[in-house]
Amino acid sequence: MRLPKKVVIKEVGPRDGLQNEKQMLSTEEKILWINSLSETGLSYIEVSSFVHPKWIPQLSDATEVFKGIKKRQGVTYSALVPNIRGLDRALEVDVDEISVFMSASEGHNLANINKSIAETYPILAEVVKEAKMAEKTVRGYVSTVIACPIEGPVAPSQVKEVANRLFSMGIDELSLGDTIGVGVPTQVERLLEELLPLYDSSKLALHFHDTRGTAISNIVKAMEMGITIFDSALGGLGGCPYALGASGNVATDDLLYLLHEMGIETGVDLTQILKSAQLLERILGKSLNSRQMDIIRKKGKERIS
């Protein structure tokens, strides 16, 4: 197997994870949890999103969360931004990196951001331009890269079209989202075969939701093809409220187990990650859905030493 020596994990739990949680967390609880994530060795934390508060009420305190967290040197603290209004809010609190997002399929794009794909391009182009003028790096997301909850299968050529448009706007990196967690390694291979001739693997990240338990096998396939950036959420939280059937992201703790056992460096301390997961369980008042947390429960350990 040809595998990378090192992989970057981008923790999206505070944004993708919490946006799908019904129980409202207080700003203080979010800050406490994000501060604990900062102590784990993670180099990237997606903190929140500056979307319309009515669309994602859980993240309506993005400004207060950014003001309250203790930023650790060497960690990038990013946020999702859908338009110029969102960018202005993000710049007010000096977010490190701006993430713009859209879908490869019309159905999900409309359901998620209330615009057609064609209407979305100029909005995001303006955000990328303004973010660059503010000297921010910009990440792009394209959702529904394998299938759309409304339209079904999505062709790799559709993803390529959106990817080309986002890169031509000037994004620094593109995260490819299997929003509803339907993908399998053969589909990941076809998608990457479409994109890798055009873009260096260092510019592409993969973002798997694990609805059908295929995320880990997809990540191994992607690593074999040269991808070294993966999004994940602590304890397997996550999902898009505007994509029926979307469940949690691949769990950061399960992904770390896989990578470390394979001898791949991440710079992240699994023990600290599990402590942060236990803190989150106490805050949420429920068990997290990862294999690692399940094992801890079965062993009957109250705390991780």
Min separation Cβ 201 and ligand HMG, Å: 19
What is the pattern of x (binds ligand HMG, CB under 6 A) and - over residues 186-225?
---------------------x-x----------------
Hey, what are 80's tokens? 């999702």
Q: What angle do CA 90, 92, 96 make, to 5 degrees?
A: 55
Catalytic residues: 240
Q: Which of residues 248-287 bind ligand HMG (CB under 6 A)?
A: none
Q: Is 7 in the site for ligand HMG (CB under 6 A)?
A: no
Stretch that binds ligand HMG, among 75-83, 128-136, 156-164, 283-291 (CB under 6 A): 75-83
How many residues touch ligand HMG under the rule CB under 6 A: the total is 26
Site membership for ligand HMG, residue 109 (CB under 6 A): no
Interacting span for ligand HMG (CB under 6 A) from 110-118, 161-169, 197-205, 217-225: 110-118
DSSP-H helix ranges across the chain: 18-19, 27-38, 62-68, 84-92, 106-113, 117-133, 156-169, 185-195, 215-224, 252-261, 270-284, 291-299
DSSP 152: E
Cβ-Cβ contacts under 8 Å for 298 (sequence gap 6 or more):
none
44 binds ligand HMG (CB under 6 A): no
Q: Strand pairing of 137-143 and 173-178?
A: parallel
Q: Does 240 bind ligand HMG (CB under 6 A)?
A: yes
In eight-state DSSP terms, residue 225 is: T
* Min separation Cβ 266 and ligand HMG, Å: 21
86 lines the binding site for ligand HMG (CB under 6 A): yes
Binding ligand HMG (rule: CB under 6 A), the pick from 8, 11, 13, 19 is 19
Whole-angstrom distance, CA of residue 65 vs CA of residue 15: 11
Q: Determine if 105 is a binding residue for ligand HMG (CB under 6 A).
A: no
Show the site string, 153-182: x = touches ligand HMG by CB under 6 A, - = not.
------------------------x-x---
User: How far does Cα 237 stand from its chain's mean position?
Assistant: 11
Strand partners, 6: 265
CB contact set of 185 (below 8 Å; sequence gap of 6+): 214, 217, 218, 220, 221
Query: Where along the sequence are the contacts to ligand HMG (CB under 6 A)?
Result: 16, 19, 49-52, 55-56, 80, 82-83, 85-86, 89, 101, 112-114, 141, 143, 177, 179, 207, 209, 240, 242
